[in-house]
Amino acid sequence: MTEKETYPLLSEIEFPADLRRLPVEQLPQVCNELRRFIIHELADNPGHFASSLGVVELTVALHYVFDTPNDRIVWDVGHQAYGHKILTGRRTLFHTNRKLGGLKPFPSPEESEYDTCTCGHASNSISVALGMAVGIKKKPLSGSPQREERHVVAVIGDGSMTGGLAFEGLNNVSSTPNDMLIILNDNDMSIDRSVGGMGEYLHKLHTSGTYNNLRDKTARLMYRWHVLNDDRKGRVLRFNNALKSLLTNQRNIFEGLNIRYFGPEDGHNVVELVRTLRRIKDMRGPKMLHLHTVKGKGFEPAERNATVWHAPGKFDPETGERLTPDPDKPQPPRFQDVFGETLLEMARKDERIVGVTPAMPTGCSLCIMQKEMPERTFDVGIAEGHAVTFSAGLAREGMRPFCNIYSSFAQRAYDNIIHDVAISRLPVVLCLDRAGLVGEDGPTHHGAFDLAALRPIPNVTIASPMDEHELRRLMFTALHCDRGPFVIRYPRGRGVLVDWRCPLEAVPVGKGRRLREASGPTAVLSLGPIGNVAAEAIRDSGLDIAHYDMRFAKPLDEELLTEVAQRYSRIITLEDGAKEGGMGTAVLEWMAEHGFRPDIVRLGLPDNFVEHGSPGELYRIVGLDKDSIKVELKKLSSL
pLDDT in tens, 270-291: 999 999 999 999 999 999 999 9
Judge: domain 3-191+252-304, CATH 2.40.30.10: no
pLDDT at res. 242: 55
Q: Which of 412, 494, 551, 602 is catalytic?
A: 412
- pTM for the model stands at 0.89
Is 168 one of the annotated active-site residues of the chain?
A: no
Burial class (CB in 10 A: 0-12, 13-18, 19+), 556: buried
Catalytic-residue membership of 36: no
Ranges under pLDDT 50 in the chain? 190-207, 209
Level-2 CATH architecture, domain 514-637: 3-Layer(aba) Sandwich (3.40)
Instruction: Write the DSSP string, 509-547.
Output: TT--EEEE--SSSEEEEE-STHHHHHHHHHHHHT--EEE
Torsion 65-71-75-80 (CA) sign: positive
Kindly report the backbone phi and psi dihedral angles of residue 383, in degrees, each rounded to the nearest multiple of 5, phi listed first: -155, 70
Omega cis (within 30) before 598: no
Which of the following is catalytic: 33, 41, 384, 468? 384
Does CATH number 3.40.50.970 belong to domain 335-489?
yes
**Termini Cα distance of the chain:** 62
In 3D space, the residue among 203, 161, 153, 155 whose CA is nearest the CA of residue 178 turns out to be 153
What's the pLDDT at 399?
98
Alpha-carbon gap, residue 585 to 118, rounded angstroms = 30
CA proximity to 124, closest of 494, 412, 423? 412
Q: Burial of 18 by CB count in 10 Å (0-12 exposed, 13-18 middle, 19+ buried)?
A: middle
Reduce the DSSP state of residue 422 to 3 states and report it: helix
Q: Is 412 a catalytic residue?
A: yes
**CA 430 – CA 458 distance, rounded (Å):** 15
Same fold, 335-489 and 514-637: yes
- Coil/strand/helix, residue 572: strand
Instruction: Quote the pLDDT of residue 258.
Output: 84
**Would you kindly state where each structural domain of the chain is located, as residue ranges?**
3-191+252-304, 193-251, 335-489, 514-637
Residues 6+ apart with CB under 8 A from 412: 121, 384, 385
* Residue of 35, 90, 98, 295 with catalytic role: 295
Determine if residue 286 is left, alpha or beta; phi over 0 gives left, psi from -120 to 50 gives alpha, anything else beta: beta
CA distance 455 to 578: 12
Cα separation, 121 vs 139, whole angstroms:
28
